[in-house]
Amino acid sequence: METKHFALFALILLLFTQGCSDKGVSLKGNASIATTTGIAPVANTPVILVPDSLVIHELEQRRDGLQMLLATVSTKRGQMVTELDTLKARYAASNYQDSLIKSHYEAITDSIHALKEETKKFKMEYIGSIAQWLSNRAVAKVQTDGKGDFSFENVKPGKYVVASVYGVSNLVGLLIKPVDLNTTGKADLTIQDRDAVFYIDEEDRP
C-alpha cells in the first residue's frame, strides 16, 4: 500500500477505538473489499455501530459538501488543461522555439500536479474527520478477525449505521451501511457499501 494511503488507514484505525454496548440483540457480519486480484477481507480492523438518527442526515450533507468542493477543483483543473492545449498548439506553431510559451506550459503543468496533491491531502484529512465524527457517536465498537468477520452482542434494538475502514492495495476509505436491528441479524460490509464519496484510490494519484 502506498505510504500516504497507509497513513490515512492507520489514522482511521486509531480513531475507531474503544466503545461500549447495551443489553439487547446481536449483529454478525463480514467485511471485505473487491480488488483487481479478487475479494480481500478487511481483517483485524475496527467496526463501529452508530444510531442512524445521530448521523444519517449529516452524512449526506457532508458528502454533498465534499462533492461541491471537488467539483470546483475539477472545473479549475479543466481550465488549466484547456490552457495547456492552447499553449501546446502555440508552441508547435513557433516551431518549438518560443521559450516563454514553453516556460508557461511547464509552470501550468506543475500547478496541475500541485493541485492534485493538495486535493488528495484535503480528501485524506476530510475522511479522517468523518471517521473521528462517526467514532465519537458510536454505541458499540468491535474488531474484525483475520477473515473479516465481526460480531456485536447485546445491542439495543433500533436503526443503526455500521461503519468500518478499508485499506486494501491502493484503496482506502469508509464502508458505511444502514441496518434496522430489531432482532438478531447479519449485515455484511462489501464493495457495495464502499462510500461513494469518502475514499482515496488510484484516481487520486498525481
Per the CB < 8 A criterion, the answer to whether 157 and 27 are in contact is no
pLDDT at residue 5, as a whole number: 53
Mean pLDDT in residue range 21-43: 83
Distance CA 69, CA 61 (A): 12
| pTM recorded for the entire structure | 0.78
DSSP alpha helix (H) spans, 29-148 = 52-93, 99-136
pLDDT at residue 191, as a whole number: 75
Reported confidence tier of residue 202, pLDDT bands at 50, 70, 90: low
The CA distances from residue 48 to 30, 112, 173, 196, in Å, are: 13, 37, 14, 19
Q: What is the pLDDT of residues 153-184, one digit of tens each?
A: 999 999 999 999 888 767 889 999 999 988 87
The CA distances from residue 36 to 49, 166, 168, 170, 196, in Å, are: 29, 15, 10, 10, 18
User: Among residues 39, 19, 13, 48, which one has the least CA distance to residue 127?
Assistant: 13
Reported confidence tier of residue 51, pLDDT bands at 50, 70, 90: very high
| Phi/psi at 51 (5° precision) | -55, 125
Domain residue spans of the chain: 3-204
| 1-5, 24-28, 38-42, 79-83: range with highest mean pLDDT | 79-83
Per the CB < 8 A criterion, the answer to whether 179 and 156 are in contact is no
- Percent of the chain exceeding pLDDT 70 equals 86
pLDDT at residue 18, as a whole number: 42
The count of other CB atoms within 10 Å of the CB of residue 197 is 20
Mention the CATH class of domain 3-204.
Answer: mainly beta
